[in-house]
Structure 1
Amino acid sequence: MLTINPVRSRPVLASLERLIGPQRADRLRRAAAEIQDRLHGGTLWHVNSTPTGGGVAEMLRTLLPLYDELGVRSRWAVVSGDDAFFRITKRLGVALYGSDGDGGPLGPAEREAYLRALKPAADRLVQKVDSRDVVILHDHQTAGLVPSLAGRVASVHWRCHVGVDEPTDAAERGWDFLTELLDEVDSLIFSVADHVPARLRDRTVLIQPPFISPFDAKNVDLPADTVRACLAQCGLDPAGAPARSPLLLETAAGDVRLQSTPSVISDGGHQLGEPLITQVSRWDRLKDMAGVLTAVTDHVPVGHLALVGPDPAAIADDVEQGFWYADCLDHWRKLSPAQRRRVSLICLPMADPTENALLVNAVQRASDVVVQKSLAEGFGLTVSEAMWKSRVVVGSAVGGIRAQITDGVDGFLLTDPADLRGLGQIVAAVLSDATDRQEIGERAHRRVRDDFLPDREVTTTASMLASERMATR
């Protein structure tokens, strides 16, 4: 099945240009003109597997309205499938991260089922595209569309947001599954250079980090009373309680209505004056929420930990979230009463993406330390989002996190993501008076402003299409 995802957004181009300055703004407009020239009146398509939840969907919600303001015709299509499709793609995604996951096979039968589930989406997309169009397919859920699109559009590009730093047998099985499907793409786009497998390095490969939007509800500046209202909704405001009726909050991204109640597991909650330590991520083995829980309760003497993720039932393309949330909850229940009081498990509602984004924004802004202790990571937009808010981020030295944080300069890196004591020691040191959190936070903000804003996506895409044009001459 395939749906066209409509995107509505407030204009951001003028604000972005003020933020990035005249030189980058000029490059942005020239890049957009180059993309228009390459399309010859066609459309730039982005295709992924979910309209909400996850970094790709969040980027596209910013990128397509920006393209519209720049005069570039673009559309966003979302593929979906049956339960078997999402079980296979979850297994495949975990394999690309280097893990065996559920231990199930990724052989010919699974690829046949995967392609069979994608066929209705492929057929519908073929009916909608034009020979002038350029299509960018995101991640393993969409790779099976390549054979149907190749030759029917001007070019097809496949973008990989996941990967593993060192090859493993599981990752090789994942690439065995995918490589043949990618034979006809015009280029491969990876978020992290180290994630390009050896078998694809002789192909046309580009490295294109993701970006954050500084103007959406997840990243705009928030007044103190808005932060408090959101914290109360999440059970993290020591002096407040969740609103009993829908609450309309004014933000620079527009009015946001808080009307859904997060699911909060807590045994006392955040106390007045207590440092707040936060990890925001999916309930996923590779995000290791349970490991963060153990590291903080065993090795950080002060502070309240908020583990914040989506409603496990609300992400269609990730069928294992419920299992890993239950696993984390089981770890919480086994803590001593004193340790349980120091941890909150928060599942944010997903019905309204803007409401969800605002809650994440407020929790990150209220945090003294933001953790991203991934066992493997593609890029990790939550890192850049927290850095943009001038938070001190402690992340695992894996994948794209290493591309965002310079250890000891604009954040801190945990060399071994399995080292729970080491994580605890870093977090405890950050919370001590010996660390200048304000200075590190300011450097973190500057890093994101310089390297991870939406104009970089447009200019890199223009360069990609220009290179393709030169190659065909």
Structure 2
Amino acid sequence: MKKLDKYAEFVGEDCVQQIYKMGAKLAEKSMVHVNSTYYGGGVAEMLTSYIPLLNEAGLKTEWRLLRGDRDFFMVTKKMHNSLQGMKVELTSEDITTYEATISQNSSFMNLEWYDMVVIDDPQPCGMVAHYRRESPSLYKPLPLLLSLAELQKKQPWVWRCHLDLTSPNRKTWRYLKKYLNDYEAIVVSARKYKTSLRKPHYFMAPAIDPLSEKNRRLSSWEVARELSRNGIDSQKPMILQVSRFDPWKDPLGVIHAYRKVKKEIDCQLVLMGGMAADDPEGDAIFRNAYSEAEKDKDISLLTVQSDRLVNALQRRADVVVQKSLREGFGLTVTEAMWKGKPVVASRVGGIPLQIENRVNGLLCNGIDDCATKISYLLKHKREAEAIGKNATEKVRKDFLVTRLVRDELELFQAITRGFITKSLKSSEQMLLSMLLKLGDLPPLKKTVPFLKRVHE
């Protein structure tokens, strides 16, 4: 059984068959995603899940990683923060570091032959300036070229941004725009993030994988074992936030909210946060949170890289919090909702796309409001349980990985459709076949320059 078939349990057989049908039309096509880390963030988690499913569906999809040193990722983190509204600006030295690393990566990353390139977030955004983006047919092996029913006259590039772009720093945005002008389309998580660029915009919410280690079903024994291994009290009411240690996730604000709750309810707080490979700020944020947490034995800070532990904590928690100051979407909210947990989350960014207040979660504004709503859920167990059940169904309907796979297939079709041209004439196919029989050939682009005429 293919892995894709296993999702019928969650979304139904018709949905899975629809994905196979869409993918079958793209059997000879290819796509690549480029991002900056393979672990530690929501983008990497999603790519890990849905790229294999896209391949199973029929669209050949690969994943490439941007390489960089600490200085580069300090610059891209600054870029990330300023795009989400933080008052920081790129210096001339930052831009030099960024462009040098992008140029170096472009020199060895062969992307020419893919039918579509998707660049995830600002880190690799500048790569578009280093590629000609001409017909990918010119770079395909001759046997494959001969079998194609149609050719593509240009290689479209798509920028997929997962950030909250409601109030970007103007100078940083102006700098990025010089690259974004070369993209064929932009994909954001919600309509509220649509940019001023006169390009096609597509809206694609992130999603979770119900079969991943982080979201699969766990037995009560597995949950208890994970808590015990990490010194977590399995009896005391638990408030949980799962987020990497980042200023936008406001871990200190969560601690302050917990302390207000603690005055009336005996409870514990667990802050579970990994360190992403492309986020050099994490250590400093963790140290600040630790200096506050060490004053209270009922606060636990965990940095263990363990999806199973995250899963266990979310299933054990009485209330899950996501007190973000900015949030492109908030997959940790989705994960907790899927597990039937009541979530108290900030009314920012993409969180309201998931939570309908008092129906499948509670939205909050600031520390005091957050504390009040946590207390309410801890005191009203039946209402908390009903909210959790509604949350699960919301995720099932809108935020599972099968919907994301379908969205990616639709995106590929919509964008490449405008670049399809006629197939090779029979005489051209015959000449190519004769050349192929001769044995080793120089690059196709030099061997058959008449192909360029086909794409004009």
TM norm structure 2: 0.83
1:25 aligns with 2:36: no
Displacement after TM superposition at 1:434 (Å): 6.3
Residue type at the aligned position of 1:144: G
Structure 1 stretch 66-75 or stretch 205-214: which is displaced more? Answer: 66-75
Question: Equivalent residues in 2 for 1:354-433 (5 A)?
Answer: 356-414=306-364, 416=365, 419-433=366-380
1:330 aligns with 2:317: no
CA contact (8 A) 1:44 1:75 kept: yes
In the TM superposition, what whole-angstrom CA distance separates every residue of 1:146-203 from its partner, at most 9, and x where no partner exists?
Answer: 12235144211110001243x25xx222212211111111110001221233x32x21
Distance 2:61 2:23 in 1: 12
Question: Equivalent residues in 2 for 1:31-46 (5 A)?
Answer: 31-36=22-27, 41-46=28-33
Displacement after TM superposition at 1:316 (Å): 2.3
| Secondary structure of the corresponding residue to residue 50 of structure 1 | coil
In the TM superposition, what whole-angstrom CA distance separates every residue of 1:78-120 from its partner, at most 9, and x where no partner exists?
Answer: 11212221111000000111112xx4x3144422320111222
| Secondary structure of the corresponding residue to residue 30 of structure 1 | helix
CA contact (8 A) 1:111 1:177 kept: no
Residue type at the aligned position of 2:117: V
Distance 1:391 1:11 in 2: 30
Distance 1:381 1:121 in 2: 29
Q: Provide closer, same or farther for how the CA distance between residues 458 and 150 of structure 1 changes in structure 2, counting only shifts above 3 A.
A: farther
1:175 aligns with 2:157: no
Residue of structure 1 equivalent to 2:142 = none
1:13 aligns with 2:11: no
Question: Equivalent residues in 2 for 1:192-203 (5 A)?
Answer: 192-197=190-195, 199-200=196-197, 202-203=198-199
Q: Provide closer, same or farther for how the CA distance between residues 433 and 44 of structure 1 changes in structure 2, counting only shifts above 3 A.
A: same
Distance 1:466 1:42 in 2: 10
Residue of structure 1 equivalent to 2:118 = 136
Distance 1:365 1:150 in 2: 49
Residue of structure 2 equivalent to 1:220 = 216
Q: Provide closer, same or farther for how the CA distance between residues 466 and 65 of structure 1 changes in structure 2, counting only shifts above 3 A.
A: closer
Q: Provide closer, same or farther for how the CA distance between residues 177 and 215 of structure 1 changes in structure 2, counting only shifts above 3 A.
A: same
Residue type at the aligned position of 1:276: M
Q: Provide closer, same or farther for how the CA distance between residues 434 and 221 of structure 1 changes in structure 2, counting only shifts above 3 A.
A: closer
Q: 2:258 aligns with which of 266, 275, 296?
A: 296
Distance 2:108 2:29 in 1: 18
Q: 1:119 aligns with which of 103, 125, 129?
A: 103
| Secondary structure of the corresponding residue to residue 436 of structure 1 | helix
| Secondary structure of the corresponding residue to residue 391 of structure 1 | coil
Distance 2:403 2:172 in 1: 30
Distance 1:406 1:400 in 2: 12
Rg comparison, structure with higher value: 2
1:185 aligns with 2:183: yes
Residue of structure 2 equivalent to 1:159 = 160
| Secondary structure of the corresponding residue to residue 212 of structure 2 | coil
Q: Provide closer, same or farther for how the CA distance between residues 96 and 35 of structure 1 changes in structure 2, counting only shifts above 3 A.
A: farther
Distance 2:241 2:371 in 1: 13
Distance 1:459 1:44 in 2: 14
In the TM superposition, what whole-angstrom CA distance separates every residue of 1:16-36 from its partner, at most 9, and x where no partner exists?
Answer: 123211332232122222443
Residue of structure 1 equivalent to 2:128 = 146
Residue of structure 1 equivalent to 2:431 = none
In the TM superposition, what whole-angstrom CA distance separates every residue of 1:364-409 from its partner, at most 9, and x where no partner exists?
Answer: 0000111000000011110101111111111101111111111100
Displacement after TM superposition at 1:11 (Å): 4.4
Residue of structure 1 equivalent to 2:54 = 67
In the TM superposition, what whole-angstrom CA distance separates every residue of 1:129-157 from its partner, at most 9, and x where no partner exists?
Answer: 41x52111100111011122351442111
Q: Provide closer, same or farther for how the CA distance between residues 133 and 223 of structure 1 changes in structure 2, counting only shifts above 3 A.
A: same
Distance 2:161 2:299 in 1: 34
In the TM superposition, what whole-angstrom CA distance separates every residue of 1:228-274 from its partner, at most 9, and x where no partner exists?
Answer: 11111221145xxxxxxxxxxxxxxxxxxxxxxxxxxxxxxxxx3x2
| Secondary structure of the corresponding residue to residue 305 of structure 1 | strand
Aligned residues: 399
1:208 aligns with 2:204: yes
Distance 2:345 2:165 in 1: 16
Distance 1:190 1:149 in 2: 23
Residue type at the aligned position of 2:103: K
| Secondary structure of the corresponding residue to residue 157 of structure 1 | strand
Gapped regions of structure 2 (runs ≥ 5): 137-154, 421-456
CA contact (8 A) 2:53 2:405 kept: no
Residue of structure 2 equivalent to 1:281 = 243
Q: 2:277 aligns with which of 313, 316, 319?
A: 316
Q: Provide closer, same or farther for how the CA distance between residues 470 and 60 of structure 1 changes in structure 2, counting only shifts above 3 A.
A: closer
Residue of structure 1 equivalent to 2:40 = 53
| Secondary structure of the corresponding residue to residue 232 of structure 1 | helix
Please provide the CA RMSD for this pair. 1.8
TM norm structure 1: 0.81
| Secondary structure of the corresponding residue to residue 109 of structure 2 | helix
Q: Provide closer, same or farther for how the CA distance between residues 406 and 34 of structure 1 changes in structure 2, counting only shifts above 3 A.
A: farther
Displacement after TM superposition at 1:46 (Å): 1.0
Q: Provide closer, same or farther for how the CA distance between residues 434 and 211 of structure 1 changes in structure 2, counting only shifts above 3 A.
A: closer
Residue of structure 2 equivalent to 1:348 = 304
Residue type at the aligned position of 2:159: W
Q: Provide closer, same or farther for how the CA distance between residues 35 and 163 of structure 1 changes in structure 2, counting only shifts above 3 A.
A: farther
Distance 2:293 2:409 in 1: 48
CA contact (8 A) 2:20 2:58 kept: no
Residue type at the aligned position of 1:25: V
Distance 2:24 2:2 in 1: 19
Residue type at the aligned position of 1:137: I
Distance 1:174 1:381 in 2: 26
Distance 1:95 1:45 in 2: 27
Residue of structure 2 equivalent to 1:463 = 410
Residue type at the aligned position of 1:409: V
Distance 1:365 1:195 in 2: 32
| Secondary structure of the corresponding residue to residue 421 of structure 1 | helix
Gapped regions of structure 1 (runs ≥ 5): 1-9, 239-271, 350-355
Q: Provide closer, same or farther for how the CA distance between residues 214 and 108 of structure 1 changes in structure 2, counting only shifts above 3 A.
A: same
In the TM superposition, what whole-angstrom CA distance separates every residue of 1:321-369 from its partner, at most 9, and x where no partner exists?
Answer: 0110011112224x4xxxx1221111113xxxxxx11110001000011
